Structure 1
Amino acid sequence: MQSPIFAHNDQQSQERWSLQNKQMLRVTLEGHDDVLARKGTMVAYQGLVEFDAEYQGNSATRARARTGEGLDLMRCHGQGTVYLANLKQHVHLIDVDQEGLTVDSSYVLAMDSGLHHEVIAVDSLYGISGSGKYQLNITGRGKVALMTSGAPLMMQVTPDRYVNCDADAIVAWSTALRVQMQAQTHSSGVWRRRGNTGEGWELSFMGTGHVLVQPSELLPPQNAVIGQGAAAQFGMGQHGARGQNQGNVWS
C-alpha cells in the first residue's frame, strides 16, 4: 500500500512534550508525572496508558458552578505515547514558571499535573461591573498546551510599551501584567460595538510580560454561534455575537 499520506507518520522526539503537527500534541508518559488533558481530546495512544476523570474538590466545583469557568480534565497516566487534539485548533506549548499564566479555560488542551490552577475574578481587577468575568490562573513550573483558532500573535509587553488587544481575541497573558479594560465608544453608543466599526471592549496590558492573541474574535468552533438580524449586527442582547457566544469570558 502506497500513498503520500504515509509522509504524516509518527514524529519521534526526545522531548516529553512535542507537536506531531500544528494541530496535534504528542506527550510521552514514563510512569510518573501524569498529564492532565481536556476530556475527549485523546485521538490516539500507544503503550500501557490509562485515562481517569480528574477529581474536582468542593472549592473547584463551587467555583465552576458560580462562575462557569473551569476545566473538565482527565488524567493520563502509565507508560506510552498519547496524542491530543481538539477540532483542528492550532496547538502551542508554553513553559509556565514564576511568571504565571492567566488564560481562558476554553483554550487549554493539556498541562502538567504538578501545575496549580484556580479561578480568579478578573472583573474585580478591572473595576468595571458586569464587563469582566472569570479566568484561570495557572502557577507552578511545567508545561501547558494552549489552543488557538489559527496561527496566533505573541506580543511582548514592557514598561515603556503597552499592548492593547480586542477582548474577544485575547487567549492568555502573563499573570504579573496590569490590565485595564475599556470600551472604545462614545457614551451615546455604549450599548453597541463601537458604533459602526464592529469593535467593542479592549484590554490594555502594562508592565513586563507577554500577551497571546489569536486571529479570531470567537472561541473554538463548539462555542462559536453567531446570532442573526439587526440586533446581531450591532452586537446587542441575546441575538448579538456576545449573547450567542456564551462561553466567551468577555460576553
Structure 2
Amino acid sequence: MQSPLFAFNETQTQERWSLQNKQMLRVTLEGQDDILARKGTMVAYQGLIEFDAEYQSGGQARTRAYTGEGLDLMRCHGQGTVYLANLAQYVHIMDVEQDGLTVDSSHVLAMDSTLYHEAVAVDSMYGVSGSGKYQLNITGHGRVALMTSGAPLLIQVTPDKYVNCDADAIVAWSTALRVQMQAQTHSSGVWRRRGGTGEGWELSFMGSGYALVQPSELLPPQNAVIGQGLAAQFGMGQQGARGQNQGNVWG
C-alpha cells in the first residue's frame, strides 16, 4: 500500500511530552505518572491506558458555579501512549515552575497530575467576554499543554516595558505579573467598543514575565450540537455564550 498519508507516521521520541504535530499532543505514560486532560480530547492511544473522570470537590464545584472558571478533566493513567487534540487547535507545551502560570481554562488541553489549579480574580469591576474577572492559577512543578487558535505570540514583560493585550486574545501569562483590566474609552458607556475602532477591554501587564497571545479574538465553538441548524454549528443561539454553552465566546 502506498499513499502520501505515510508521511504522517508516529513521531519517534524519548520525551514524555511531545507534539505529534502542531495540532496533536503525544504523552507517554509509564504507570506512576498520571496526567489530567480535558474531557473528550483523547483521539487515540496505544497500550494499557485507562480514563477516569477526575473528582471535583464541593469547594471546587461551588467556586466554578460562582466564577464560571474551571476545568472538566479526566485522569489518564496506565502504560502506553495517548494522543490528545481539540478542534484542530494549535498545541503548545509549557513547563510550570515556581512562579506559576495564569490561564483561561478554555485554553488548557492537559497537565501533569502533580500540578495544582484554582480560580483567581483579575482586577476588574466589570465582567467581560473572553478573559473575564476570573482565571486559573496553575502552580507546582510539571508540564501543561495549552491550545491556541493559530500560531501565538509570546511577549516578554519587563519592569521598564509593560504590555497591553486584548482581553479576548490573551491566553496565559506569568502569575508573578501584576494585571489590571481596563477599557480605554471616551464614550459614556464602557460597553461600547472604543471610539468605533472595534477595540474594547484589555489587560495591562507589569513586572517581569511573559504574556501569551493568540492571533484570534474568538474561540472555536465548544461542544456545539451539530445537526441543530447553522446557529448551533457556529456556537450561536442556545449554543452560544449566553445560552447553554457558557464556555463559548461566539455569541
Correspondence for 1:217:
217
TM-score (norm 2): 0.87
Correspondence for 2:31:
31
Q: What runs of 5+ residues in structure 2 fail to find an aligned partner?
A: 225-230, 232-236
The equivalent position to 1:128 in structure 2, one of 121, 125, 129, is 125
CA distance in 2 between counterparts of 1:25 and 1:203 reads 29
CA deviation profile, 1:150-172 (whole Å, cap 9, x unmatched): 00000000001111100110000
Distance 1:130 1:21, change over 3 A: closer
Question: How many residue pairs end up in the alignment?
Answer: 233
Contact preservation (8 Å) 2:241, 2:247: no
Please identify runs of 4+ aligned residues in structure 1 that moved more than 3 A: 129-132, 241-246
Correspondence for 2:98:
98
What one-letter code is carried by the residue in structure 1 that aligns with 2:9? N
TM-score (norm 1): 0.87
Pairing of 1:1-251 with structure 2 (within 5 A): 1-122=1-122, 126-131=123-128, 132-222=132-222, 246-247=246-247
What one-letter code is carried by the residue in structure 2 that aligns with 1:7? A
Contact preservation (8 Å) 2:35, 2:111: yes
Distance 1:153 1:173, change over 3 A: same
Contact preservation (8 Å) 1:106, 1:220: no
Identity of aligned residues (%): 80
Q: CA deviation at 1:33?
A: 1.4
What one-letter code is carried by the residue in structure 2 that aligns with 1:47? G
CA distance in 2 between counterparts of 1:162 and 1:178 reads 10
Q: What SS does the aligned partner of 2:185 have?
A: coil
Q: CA deviation at 1:129?
A: 4.0
Q: CA deviation at 1:6?
A: 0.6
Select the structure that is richer in helix: 1
What one-letter code is carried by the residue in structure 2 that aligns with 1:170? I
CA distance in 1 between counterparts of 2:13 and 2:91 reads 17
Q: What runs of 5+ residues in structure 1 fail to find an aligned partner?
A: 229-237
Contact preservation (8 Å) 1:117, 1:139: yes
Contact preservation (8 Å) 1:223, 1:246: no
